[in-house]
Structure 1
Amino acid sequence: MKLRMTTVFAASGLIALGACTDPSLNGGQTGNISRTQQGALAGAAIGALYGATRDDDKNNQGRDAARGAILGAAAGAVAGNILDRQAAALEQAVQNPNVQIVNHGSYLQVILPEGILFATDSAAVSGVAQNDLYAVARNLNQYPNSRIEVIGHTDNTGSAAYNQDLSQRRAQSVAGILTAGGVSSARIVAVGRGEDQPTASNATDQGRAQNRRVEILIRPTQ
């Protein structure tokens, strides 16, 4: 019975939050909610579960779940709002239209195609691309509560060992520019994935071009 009551309170919190969606915040589309609202919903669910399981005497689990949902929703909304603002600032700061900035709700993904970063088989970042990377660095300094993963990717042309080494060197080059832009090296991890994580088919030139990229993942720490 107590477990059912906990579930009811958690579900009620989620429904209530979903009902508060303001269409004016989403281009008039009630079917899509903002990242702030998504964070609130996720936080409510986690908070409800946490509140119910932290009750030492097992009394009033429904009340504890409701309290947890409220606190979790508030924390989730704050985190979601910060990512919304950081993503918007990045979109304004980065000049190259081929750079993609994707807000996944719990982290940001900056996708930089090889063509704007490197010459063929090179790990030296082009001068034009450096400007955008310094813009990313300034953004990361404005939002310091995150850890950054710089991940290099290649297509499957050539040996796997060569591609792994090239992707690692490219990731390190991008990470080095972020560090030169003032981002603490303690926040950054550079990793090469070689040809192991394609996003498109390597059977076509277009697909291989999409696979040759460096991604910057920005994961909030609080």
Structure 2
Amino acid sequence: MSDAPLTFETLAGAALHPLLPDLARLRIVVFRDWPYLYEGDEAYERGYLRAYADAPGAAVVVCRARGEVVGAATCEPMVQGHAPVQAAFRAAGLDPAGFCYFGESVLLRPYRGRGAGVRFFEAREAHARSLGLRRTAFCAVLRDPADPRRPAGHVPLDGFWRRRGYAPRPDLTVGFSWKEVGATEETPHLLSFWLKDLA
């Protein structure tokens, strides 16, 4: 039920392993929609998420409703994450060692608009501080606003991110490839970063 109370818990390490199947399915469902249009693979997703479970310093903020996992947000020291992300920061003269990288933030549609996004950012920023990291960053896929696949009435999250204190860095980008819904092969996608200095 979408009106069920939401609970949040920051988990790391072995505590995440029993949740990997639920988290994998969650990523597939949410990222299938615009703007990612990602044709997910559950086996790949479990492996991707297992890397968070096994990485020192990484954490996942888990959102539940009536015990069911309905949302999640990931974070980890940037130096432990994706090599292309680190390379993009170094190329821009930024030291990845000073950043906590926020990966995905996913929430099932019926539970949106109830403050989960704010809680995800607050919990991840608290985790970054606990690691002694005072800078945070995430990236978002760039799409042509005129793309015919863009849903009518779609509102980008830029305003929400700005209200959380994040600033766009259109000069700071990274490329990742994935298979879109209905495609037979992976295609490259460009993502740009948003940064924040924590108080």
**TM-score class, shorter:** 0.3 to 0.5
TM-score after normalising by structure 1: 0.31
Greater percentage in strand: 2
Name which structure has the greater RCO, CA cutoff 8 Å, separation 6+. Answer: 2
Structure with larger Rg: 1
* Larger helix percent: 1
